[in-house]
Structure 1
Amino acid sequence: MELQQMRYVVAVAETSNFTRAAERCRVVQSALSHQIARLERELGTRLFDRTSRRVRLTPAGEAFLPAARQALDAADRARAEVAAVSGEIRGRLAIGAIPTVTAVDLPSALKDFHVRHPQVRVTLRVGGSAEMAERVRQGTLDLAFLGLPRSARPKGVHGRVLAHGELVAVVAPGHPLADAVDVGLRRLSDEVFVDFSAGTAGRAQSDEAFAAAGVGRDVAFEVTTPDLVVRLVRLGLGVGMLPAAFVTGLAGLRVVELRDPPTRVEHLVWSRLGPSPAATAFLEALDVPVAPAPPRRGTPETSPEERNGAPADAAP
């Protein structure tokens, strides 16, 4: 079993097409097909069901795929660790982020990192906090920027709190509350809202605050991105709830500061297995202390926060 064969399997699984997989791997299709067939003979089972219209994983292929990805990641990590000994940072850096991250100027940080470490292939995935944290736990992301209610902590990862912030209400310029100040949540609860989908961390920040105030509210528009929140609010379809630092400079909106605002905490998290050389370099560029490698078996594990005498920001 060879790493190249695993790369071919992963490429076919992700593209559901042998031709596109061969193009991604920069080989002719016949060579890719031959190597996968050779691997299937070695394993004694088929990894893909092939028809004239589609290619999909068999149950054996579904079982093989995660292990293949882990093996490829381990090989890449080994190469990066060896290069790091000589002072060269290379490999991959997969970052996840919520769309409303404000504690760090992420585009500028990515640009600076690319200039300093051009041998690192950087990727960025934007999504919800729960998805990003799970991808860090699974190892498909090296680190992620999250936004959580004050009552929540990311589980199964190492991390640091980057910032605490408050949410504000945003309304269209012609809204009755456009010029209001010091508005309470009870007064605001009479409005129709545009907010994130129920069950997400972005929605929970507001839901928990209204529940604590003893009032409910009508969320008529559930969306997945802050851009859509802003567009619907500008059209006068409802009131939005967004981080105060995020709405600074947004045109066509009026900001309503609240007497008892919802709050959120921005976290930066990475794997408990320890960051890769590229991830370590990125964390150091952000002045974030890096957790040392996990202790050997039989050695009691102590969190980096505990070693620094501070409470843990990310619970194990």
Structure 2
Amino acid sequence: MELRQLEYLVTVTEEASFTKAAAKLHVAQPGVSAQIRQLERELGQDLLDRSGRTVRPTEVGAAVLPYARAALAAVAGARQAVEELTGLVRGHVAVGTVTSLGQAVDVAGLLADFHHSHPAVEIGLIEDTSDNLLQALLTGRLDVAVVSLAGELPPGIGVQVVVDEPFVVAVAPGDPLADRTSIALDALAGRPLMCLPRGTGLRTVVDHACAAAGFRPRIAFEAGDPTVLAQFAVRGLGVAILPESLARSYPGELHAVNLTRPKLRGRLALAWRTEGPSGPAARALVRQARAALPERTEDAPA
């Protein structure tokens, strides 16, 4: 019995197909079939039911699968232990970031530094909403992510806040609000607002605050990039709700009005999974990212 045979058995079962398993394993299909046949001859029982349109484990195969997975996991664990003890980190890390990140966190610089420290590690990057990124962390599809925080975090997620700043109302100089220094949130009821899409931290904060104030926001424009919202506001298309630093980066073109009753804040955080398996490459990335991104609090300058 060889580990390769156990790997083929598990993969064929997961893919329910010899063809798909062979493609995933990057080997020829006849080789996969031959190795599993050899394993079946050694055990004296059929492990896979090939009679249907999809391949399924037989009763014996289903009984063998947990042991096959355990053997493969044990080998992977042994390799990880050796790599950690010798300082040799290989493998793959999956990183996520909110689409609306902008220049708030230098993810490119962070990943470049990590690649320089661990050139043998492959790095994958995706952009999505905070809700989807947190779910991907929980399911193991991501190892670390930069997310926008709003509400309670799901269990099993650790975070380090790296940006914490107020949200403000941003309007063009000719807007009726341009002579105001502050405004209560409920004064925006009925005004056309521009905001990030649902699922983002900023939008969640705004929706919850408006609901608590007794009105539903009238969202006239949505954009995944807050700089696009700022440009819409410059053109006088409505009221944009933006991070303060972004609104104030358009001097003469945008007027930032402080939000009161309630004050709204945006927080970006480095997030990672605290429960479940985690490889040495993922742990190394989390350690390096936490060291490179100082933790922020409401009173600390961003």
Query: How far apart are the structure 1 equivalents of 2:234 and 2:181?
Result: 19
SS for the counterpart of 2:241 is strand
Secondary structure (helix, strand or coil) at the match of 1:270 reads strand
| Contact 2:8–2:36 (8 Å) recurs in 1 | no
Q: CA deviation at 1:71?
A: 9.1
Asked whether the 8 Å contact 1:80–1:91 carries over to 2, the reply is no
Distance in 1 between the 2:213 and 2:31 partners? 65
Shift of 1:87: 0.9
Counterparts of 2:186 and 2:172 in 1: how far apart (Å)? 20
- What is the number of equivalent residue pairs in this alignment? 273
Partner of residue 254, structure 1:
254
Q: Deviations over 1:214-244 (max 9, x none)?
A: 4443113345554654565455443222323
Query: Which letter maps to 1:263?
Result: R
Shift of 1:268: 2.4
State the match for 2:160 in structure 1. Answer: 160
Hey, what does 1:2 align to over in structure 2? 6
Q: What's the RMSD between the two structures over aligned residues?
A: 4.5
Q: Report which of the two structures shows the higher radius of gyration computed on alpha carbons.
A: 2
Specify whether residues 76 and 194 from structure 1 end up closer, same or farther in structure 2 by C-alpha distance, changes over 3 A only: farther
The structural deviation recorded for 1:48 is 8.9
3-state SS of 2:259 partner: coil
Aligned to 2:109: 108
Alignment CA distance shift 1:82-1:194 (3 Å): same
CA distance in 1, matches of 2:210, 2:114: 40
* 1:279 maps to 2:282: yes
Distance in 2 of aligned mates of 1:232 and 1:141: 33
Distance 1:279 1:247, change over 3 A: farther
Separation in 1 of the partners of 2:214 and 2:121?
50
CA 1:116/1:259 → structure 2, altered by over 3 Å: closer, same or farther? same
The corresponding residue for 1:117 is 118
- Structure 1 unaligned runs (5+)? 51-56, 290-316
Give 1:115 deviation, angstroms: 0.8
Separation of aligned partners in 2, 1:245 and 1:257: 12
3-state secondary structure, aligned to 1:259:
strand
**How do 1:145-294 and structure 2 match up within 5 A?**
145-149=146-150, 151-172=151-172, 175-177=175-177, 180-198=180-198, 200-226=200-226, 229-230=229-230, 232-233=232-233, 236-245=236-245, 249=249, 254-260=254-260, 261-273=263-275, 275-288=278-291
In structure 2, relative to structure 1, the CA distance for the partners of 1:91 and 1:183 (3 Å cut) is same
Query: Kindly tell me: are residues 99 and 238 of structure 1, through their superposed partners in 2, closer, same or farther at Cα, counting changes over 3 Å?
Result: same
Structure 1 residue 114: deviation in Å? 0.6
How far apart are residue 276 of structure 1 and its match? 3.0
Cα pair distance change 1:200/1:112, threshold 3 Å: closer
**Distance 1:287-1:141 versus aligned 2 partners, 3 A rule:** closer
5+ unaligned residues in a row in structure 2: which ranges? 293-302
Q: For residues 32 and 215 of structure 1, what CA distance do their matches in structure 2 show?
A: 61
TM-score under structure 2 length normalisation: 0.68
Kindly tell me: are residues 59 and 28 of structure 1, through their superposed partners in 2, closer, same or farther at Cα, counting changes over 3 Å?
closer
- 1:86 deviates by 0.3
C-alpha distance 168-36 of structure 1, shift in aligned 2 (>3 A): farther
Partner secondary structure for residue 148 of structure 2: strand
Counterpart residue number, 1:135: 136
Instruction: Give the fraction of aligned pairs with identical amino acids, expressed as a percent.
Output: 32
Tell whether the 8 Å contact from 1:167 to 1:244 is kept in structure 2 after alignment: yes
- CA–CA separation in structure 2 for the residues paired with 1:220 and 1:37: 62
